[in-house]
Amino acid sequence: MKMINRFWKFMLLAIIIYTIIQLLITTEVFNLFYTNTLITIAINIILAVSLHLVIGITGQFSIGHAGFLAVGAYISAIVTMKLALPFPLALFAAGVIAAVAGLIVGIPTLRLRGDYLAIATLGFAEIIRIIFLNIDYVGGAAGMVVSRTTNWTISYICLLITLIVIINFTNSRHGRACVAIRENEIAADAMGINTTYYKVVAFVIGSFFAGIAGGLYAHNFYIIQPASFGFLKSFDILIFVVLGGLGSLSGAVLSAILLTIVSTFLQDYAETRMIIYSLILILVMLYRPQGLMGTREITDFFTSRKKNALKGGENL
Amino acid sequence: MEWIQQFFNGISLGSIYALIALGYTMVYGIIKLINFAHGDVFMIGAFTGFFAISVLNLSFLPALLLAMIVCAILGVTIERIAYKRLRNSTRIAALITAIGVSLLIEYIFIYFRGAQPEAYPEVLAKETYNIFGAKISSQSVLILCVTVILMILLQFIVHRSKIGKAMRAVAYDQDAAKLMGINVDNTISITFAIGSALAGAAGVIFGIYYTKIDPLMGIIPGLKAFIAAVLGGIGIIPGAMVGGFLLGIVETVVSASGFSLWRDAAAFIILILILIFRPSGIFGKNAKEKV
Amino acid sequence: GDGDTIKIGANLELSGDVASYGQSIAEGVDLAVEEINANGGIDGKTIELIKSDNKSDPSEAASVATKLTSEEQVLAIIGSATSGNTLAQAQIANDTKTILLTPSGTSPNVTVTENGDVNDYVFRTSYIDPFQGTVAANFATGDLGIKTAAIYADSASDYAKGLADAFKETFEAAGGTIVAEESYVAKDTDFRSTLTRIQSKNPEFVFIPGYYAEVGLIIKQAREMGIEVPFMGADGWDSPTLVELAGADTLNNTFITNHYSAEDPDTTIQDFVKKFKEKYNGESPDAFNALGYDSIYFLADAIERAGSFEPEKIKDALADTKDLLLVTGLITVDENHNPVKSATILEYQDGVQVFKSKINP
Amino acid sequence: MSTNPLLHIQNVGIRFGGLRAVANFTLKLNQGELIGLIGPNGAGKTTVFNLLTGVYAPTEGEIFFNGERINGLPPYKVTRKGISRTFQNIRLFNELSVLDNVKIAYHSLAKHSIFSSIFRFPKHFSGEKEMEEKSIEFLKIFHLDHVKEEKAKNLPYGQQRRLEIARALAAGPKLLLLDEPAAGMNPQETKELMELISFIRNEFNLTILLIEHDMKLVMGVCEKISVLDHGQLIAHGTPEEIRKHPKVIEAYLGEEVGEEHA
Amino acid sequence: MLKVDEIDVYYDNIHALKGVSLEVLAGEIVTLIGANGAGKSTLLKTLSGLLRPKTGRIDYFGQSITNKPVQSIVQSGISHVPEGRRVFANMTVAENLDLGAYIRKDKKAIEEDKQAVYALFPRLLERKKQLAGTLSGGEQQMLAIGRALMAKPKLLLLDEPSMGLAPLLVKQIFQIIQEINQNGTTILLVEQNANMALSIANRAYVIETGNVVASGTAKELQSSERIKQAYLGGM
Ligand SMILES: Nc1ncnc2c1ncn2[C@@H]1O[C@H](COP(=O)(O)OP(=O)(O)OP(=O)(O)O)[C@@H](O)[C@H]1O
Ligand SMILES: Nc1ncnc2c1ncn2[C@@H]1O[C@H](COP(=O)(O)OP(=O)(O)OP(=O)(O)O)[C@@H](O)[C@H]1O
Ligand SMILES: [Mg+2]
Ligand SMILES: [Mg+2]
């Protein structure tokens, strides 16, 4: 079958990418710094793609994604550091608890629209952050020291799983239901789609992967602090999604890669980095308000199905 | 007595939020843009006032006016350069641009003068009044009056004056507004000018009241003012004021009960609760789309 | 390092929430590096300083540290300003055998891990939080004869928490009572509601561990509300801005513990103040400036004593430092990599810091 | 009238603030009927549709569909019970392809779960395949299959109207509600639409309730017509009866309506 | 009065009007008919300045208004009632009418004209405090026409004014259009309801995919077999 075939092509490509990079790491062509940048890129892609499902696909304007990142980070850190359980389990727990948080946040807020939804999600993210700030068990403001266990392989595996799940979800009747909500909620409702249900589902899946990203994040940066998960972090994730092109999964991936590299590169330009960063944002938005990819996908450039309008990655 | 005092504390805090929220809500009401740079215009207003008072030796009113003018010009410039092109693109693209503009103002400012805070000179004599055993400073009273007067003035402009009607027409449908003979660009510029001038005034008043200003000072009050605006029903002018007061009082009550660390969380919880029961804010009409 | 230079990284908060501390440290570091290089460097090698911004964010700090250690292969990293951002790099420093020297990270667990092990490669220039808290409590009970006190601490910083804990312990041990314990959050501007609460408890003394930006406002608002009792704080208060914010009169009857005082007639200090003012348009150096400056000399001294550029030897030399005279005092490093040095108590009189006493550990 | 109507609207009403948009409205639709709903602008016709489909909950009265009480159900549940509609102002999924627009309508008829889609179980593939095939069949009926990859918003107006009907049909309704399907069409296009309505009605064994201001269409296809004015039913009967009904002439048709289109 | 000379209009790369020329004389009712998507609305939008022609020229009373901004075109006496009504939903009926008179300064005359509009559409008077967005389609159409009249136009551009209206109202609207015309306003009318449009118009143009394919007096077109077949329902 064509679809199955595509899946194996995707896997083959994934394995090739992995092998090349792993080779570069073992031969020490990539030093620790490059490897770290790769891990950060993987984490950021997971974040971008998980938010893409909520904003780009379902059209729900959530700007509090860092809250779920925080939940994942803290839960995974508790599992490994306090309970001394294995890291993969911690990652899973991070995803699950973040998904539960997504459910708790999503049910009341997703009935709100537009900017009201935006500010409510931002509010929830801040509440989550303040909760961690006030729990002494996780170190309060000073944060928690976490030993570094994230490595390139595990980040890559998580990234692949995220991509597969989200692409598969998007390219199914369920993903179409979400897109329908984005396009016209009243009509979607009239077509028999339980709009609340799908908004919450998209939100929960998005939160789950943000939680996974949080687990990787916590075990990559030695320390987690509530201050790292403020609304500016949420904006960073939002920026990946919008800059890449709302509704384009490959756009989100691409901009997560680009912006992470730009940001790492700008470390050397301490005083001017924020000026450059903000100028990039403004200029891209002014001259390409639809984002780098618009609503197109990378695969559109290779296939003849140019007019396929349902976005979110090709079928796997 | 302690609680009367706390009530006054809450009102004073709330009127600052309200003052910033007025401009926020106004700009939002017309072009539906969450102008994240509003807080930074507020910051520039505060610094302009500071400069006017300490370097140009101006007194309060001229300094206030100068700050308002500078901010009005800044606001219009931002709109013309950064937002105008985006009028027909998605709201979210405009939002990202606004975030970009906000960061740009902050860091250009820091680049040229550093991030250190500045202490505001005292230009207004300060007295303390005793009401029911609670103390309230003349400055608090001043802020309260300024806020209420500006609110009434704005409400009048938007709902009664011709330019106000034009603003609301532009807000709803720019092409149809053009067909009425309205100059859309000018109307939006005027909106930004008024909104930004208000932010500038708020900046100066904030500086005088709290005495500390710094290049990142706009972020938190900007966010709080935005919450206040949403609480009241974003785009609705009296709503911004009521939202500001409500927020101020809630925060004060939470701090006064010894939970100061939960203060910001409480602000958001109130916001979310209100939105759950009134999805368009306290005064917001539930603008359900007619099917 | 190779050739004629040694690479030293600076991993500082040049933007973000606590940018002003990072920037202050950077100024001090720049001045010291300039001086040392002008005087022929360390053992004939000039210092190549690589300054990076960590955006006041621990994950960025870790990323910067990785870059400095693997890309630039620096010998040592100066930074960061806060304990959290320093902690984020501790494991990297140990793993890559890079000296990590924080000028101002005062939390005890920067150098000592939770289970009591000392981080081999991590050092600091400042003393630790409990020391200042203890000094303040002793001063309050002893010199001022205080019985009841309130604590109003910055909750968002481990620094303030450490000070508050130490103060409380010592104060209560000396027979005093803490009548109110309140916190605020950094970047707050309105403290009136909590101050009203404190006022209703009638303390004789208020201990305010925190940073000048908020403290200035707290003092001003407290005095306006009629709280006239003595206030005390620590090095976080030290900035000319505090005086401007609170007002010179308002600040009377307040005290701080500090690393040093720019008003101190001590020649080492005045020398530094003069050089600093020359380089930075007459700006008066604050404690972060001084600590940044000292950090470079602290490191340079160790390298010279080690007589080698190998990190293993330098870390031993740092740990062995004894009676090294720096701007912020005479230091001796203890077994936890913490410098043992004196604290200065200063009183504000009409906006000027007046030397009150010097307390040795 | 038969004893067991498909749709039974009983004394339904709704208020918007002070305005009683629909009041005491009663209507029965038997299986297979095609009934027109006409009335002056603002009479409350669209509001009746909104009440039927759950967009608004009636403040008074009850609605039975297939013997089940449906008032107060959310729209998606109403659709699943077998009522679907088109909108007065077209509401397509603009950025999506014509094919996807129809596929979405199939959503609630498909069975494969989120899990089977995410993990690509065989059920997913069979489910998706079935949706695609059926959707294409539908597009063929409506002569839209040649534009199936086109974005909905790029279609000419007439095709958009047809797509909306196709989409409504794909949701598998027993009762179809059409809100001014001929609005904005010229007489020639309206004629074609009339043929289409008759065709789908027979083909899918539908019951249809139709709002339209084009009297030629209404009189041409409807067996019975209900007339609303100020939210109230003022007449119900065959086209001939309605055409001559004095109240309808006064409120809605005006004089000499017959001649105009003749 | 109005002379359109060979204009070409594009939406990005869609060529919507291809060298369209037409003329409207003072005092006339001219109607444009054509299938969906023929370019009728595009033409009206170009006349009122919402769109710019790429080539060609538009003269109004002998003066070019080709690239003038919308507000000055409105000021010179051209009012456009757009397709789909476009009333200001968040404002009351009365406020909508006020906005129609935005370019005017004569307060008293404005008030009189408002009363005249209410007399024309009594339903609007009933609903004058209601928000326009909650009006029914027909009510909104009345409001849109009323609003355009408030500018006291010399030339009124009407885009499908009968769309979605009850037969009685359609008749009323057509009567009102004639009344407005008799009071001295020239009218350019776009209609799908070609029969009725032709019955009140002096002259007509037929547009097909961006080209004018036929023109003449209303009578001529009404009796043309081809036009009957394509647009009048083949009677
Ligand atoms: N959400 C609402 N809020 C307030 N009033 C409303 C609302 N929806 C409809 N109305 C009012 O209810 C009345 C009936 O409106 P409705 O849309 O049902 O009319 P209609 O019969 O469909 O008219 P048309 O033929 O013009 O479409 C109108 O007067 C309208 O203004
Ligand atoms: N905003 C737009 N962007 C791109 N193309 C457009 C736009 N508006 C109209 N078009 C295209 O221009 C052509 C002419 O459209 P126009 O709206 O003028 O037709 P019309 O004759 O008014 O049709 P209708 O009877 O449907 O109102 C059509 O092919 C349409 O698809
Ligand atoms: Mg209707
Ligand atoms: Mg048209």
What's the CA gap between C37 and A226, in Å, rounded? 40
Do D244 and D230 form a contact (C-beta atoms < 8 A)?
no
Other Cβ atoms within 10 Å of B246 Cβ, number: 23
pLDDT of residue E149: 92
Per-residue pLDDT, averaged over B106-121, amounts to: 86
The dihedral through the CA atoms of B10, B11, B13, B19 has a sign that is: positive
DSSP string computed for chain E: -EEEEEEEEEETTEEEEEEEEEEE-TT-EEEEE--TTSSHHHHHHHHTTSS--SEEEEEETTEE-TT--HHHHHHTTEEEE-TT----TTSBHHHHHHHHTTT---HHHHHHHHHHHHHH-HHHHHTTTSBGGGS-HHHHHHHHHHHHHTT--SEEEEE-TTTT--HHHHHHHHHHHHHHHHTT-EEEEE-S-HHHHHHH-SEEEEEETTEEEEEEEHHHHHT-HHHHHHHS---
What's the CA gap between C310 and C308, in Å, rounded? 6
Q: Select, from the ranges B15-19, C6-10, C40-44, D248-252, the one with the highest average predicted confidence (pLDDT).
A: C6-10
E233 has pLDDT over 80? no
Reference B208, options B67, B75, B111, B38; nearest CA is B67
Give the closest-approach CA distance of D88 to chain B in angstroms. Answer: 8
Domain positions in chain B are 20-217
**Phi, psi at D61, each rounded to 5°:** 85, 180
The answer to whether the CB of E14 is under 6 A from ligand 2 is yes
Do C48 and C112 form a contact (C-beta atoms < 8 A)?
no
The dihedral through the CA atoms of A199, A202, A205, A210 has a sign that is: negative
Ligand nearest to the CA of D42: 1
Other Cβ atoms within 10 Å of A35 Cβ, number: 19
User: Which D residues in the span 6-65 are in contact with E, Cβ-Cβ below 8 Å?
Assistant: 16, 38-43, 46
Ligand 2, closest atom to CA D186? 25
Question: How confident is residue C77, by pLDDT bands cut at 50, 70 and 90?
Answer: very high
Low-confidence stretches of chain A (pLDDT < 50) are 304-316
Q: Which residues of chain B neighbour C183 with C-beta distances below 8 Å?
A: 260-261
What is the three-class DSSP state of C325?
Answer: strand
CA distances from D195 to A185, D167, D190, D201, D202 (A): 31, 18, 9, 10, 11
What's the CA gap between B82 and A278, in Å, rounded? 12
Q: How many CB pairs under 8 A join D and E?
A: 90
Token reading at D61: 């009265």
| pLDDT, tens only, B56-68 | 999 999 999 999 9
What's the CA gap between A55 and A210, in Å, rounded? 14
Question: How confident is residue C358, by pLDDT bands cut at 50, 70 and 90?
Answer: confident
Do B206 and B46 form a contact (C-beta atoms < 8 A)?
yes
Share of chain C above pLDDT 70, in %: 99
Per-residue pLDDT, averaged over B130-138, amounts to: 79
Q: Which residues of chain B neighbour A262 with C-beta distances below 8 Å?
A: none
| pLDDT, tens only, E172-231 | 888 889 988 998 899 999 988 888 899 999 999 999 888 999 899 988 888 888 777 777
Q: Which of A142, A268, A274 is nearest residue C15 as measured by Cβ atoms?
A: A274
Give the closest-approach CA distance of D188 to chain E in angstroms. Answer: 4
pTM (2 d.p.) = 0.89
Token reading at E157: 């551009």
Q: Select, from the ranges A288-292, B76-80, C40-44, the one with the highest average predicted confidence (pLDDT).
A: B76-80
What's the CA gap between E222 and E235, in Å, rounded? 11
* CB-based contact B260 C19, cutoff 8 Å: no
Reference D247, options D25, D39, D85; nearest CA is D39
**Which ipTM score applies to this complex?**
0.87
* CB-based contact B272 A130, cutoff 8 Å: no
User: Quick one: closest CA in E to D18, which residue?
Assistant: E130
Q: Identify the contact set of chain B against chain A, taking CB-CB distances under 8 A.
A: 28, 32, 34, 82, 85-86, 89-97, 99-104, 106-108, 111, 223, 226-227, 230, 234, 261-262, 264-265, 268-269, 271-272, 275-276, 279-281, 289, 291
Question: How confident is residue C84, by pLDDT bands cut at 50, 70 and 90?
Answer: confident
Q: Which of A61, A275, A285 is nearest residue B97 as measured by Cβ atoms?
A: A285
Q: Which residues of chain B neighbour E98 with C-beta distances below 8 Å?
A: 165
Contacts of D73 (CB under 8 A, 6+ apart): D54, D81
pLDDT of residue D262: 32
Q: Which residues of chain D neighbour E192 with C-beta distances below 8 Å?
A: 184-186
Q: Which of B86, B107, B291 is nearest residue A186 as measured by Cβ atoms?
A: B291
Report yes or no: C88 at the A interface, CB cutoff 8 Å.
yes
Q: Could you give the dihedral angle defined by the CA atoms of residues B136, B138, B143 and B144, in that order, rounded to the nearest 10 degrees?
A: 50
What's the CA gap between E72 and A81, in Å, rounded? 71
Beta strands in C13-158 (DSSP E): 46-53, 76-78, 99-102, 122-124, 148-154
Ligand 2, closest atom to CA D157? 26
Report yes or no: B54 at the C interface, CB cutoff 8 Å.
no
Token reading at B134: 């609670």
Pick the more confident residue, C192 or B3. C192
Token reading at C156: 């968002």
pLDDT of residue A314: 36
pLDDT of residue D252: 85
Per-residue pLDDT, averaged over E158-169, amounts to: 85
Per-residue pLDDT, averaged over B182-207, amounts to: 93
E with A: touching (≥3 Cβ pairs within 8 Å): no
Question: How confident is residue C120, by pLDDT bands cut at 50, 70 and 90?
Answer: very high
Do A208 and A96 form a contact (C-beta atoms < 8 A)?
yes
The answer to whether the CB of E5 is under 6 A from ligand 2 is no
Per-residue pLDDT, averaged over C53-67, amounts to: 87
What's the CA gap between D132 and D136, in Å, rounded? 6
Ligand nearest to the CA of D48: 1
The answer to whether the CB of E69 is under 6 A from ligand 2 is no
Question: How confident is residue B126, by pLDDT bands cut at 50, 70 and 90?
Answer: confident
What's the CA gap between B93 and B85, in Å, rounded? 11
pLDDT of residue C51: 92
Question: How confident is residue B135, by pLDDT bands cut at 50, 70 and 90?
Answer: confident
Q: Which of A235, A246, A275 is nearest residue B99 as measured by Cβ atoms?
A: A235
Per-residue pLDDT, averaged over E132-141, amounts to: 82
C48 has pLDDT over 50? yes
Reference D87, options D200, D189, D170, D178; nearest CA is D178
Per-residue pLDDT, averaged over C137-165, amounts to: 89
**Phi, psi at E45, each rounded to 5°:** -60, -35
Which residue is associated with the tokens 């939770």? Answer: C114
B34 has pLDDT over 90? no
First-to-final CA distance of chain D: 32
The answer to whether the CB of D159 is under 6 A from ligand 1 is no
Q: Whose CA is nearest to atom 17 of ligand 2?
A: E41
Ion ligand 3: residues, CB within 5 A, are D 46, 88
Contacts of C39 (CB under 8 A, 6+ apart): none
Other Cβ atoms within 10 Å of C343 Cβ, number: 25
Reference B148, options B258, B19, B31, B279; nearest CA is B19
pLDDT of residue B92: 84
A with C: touching (≥3 Cβ pairs within 8 Å): yes
Question: How confident is residue C300, by pLDDT bands cut at 50, 70 and 90?
Answer: very high
> What is the phi-psi region of residue B192: left when phi exceeds 0, alpha when psi lies from -120 to 50, beta otherwise?
alpha
Q: Whose CA is nearest to atom 4 of ligand 2?
A: E11
What's the CA gap between B285 and B76, in Å, rounded? 29
Q: Whose CA is nearest to atom 10 of ligand 1?
A: E134
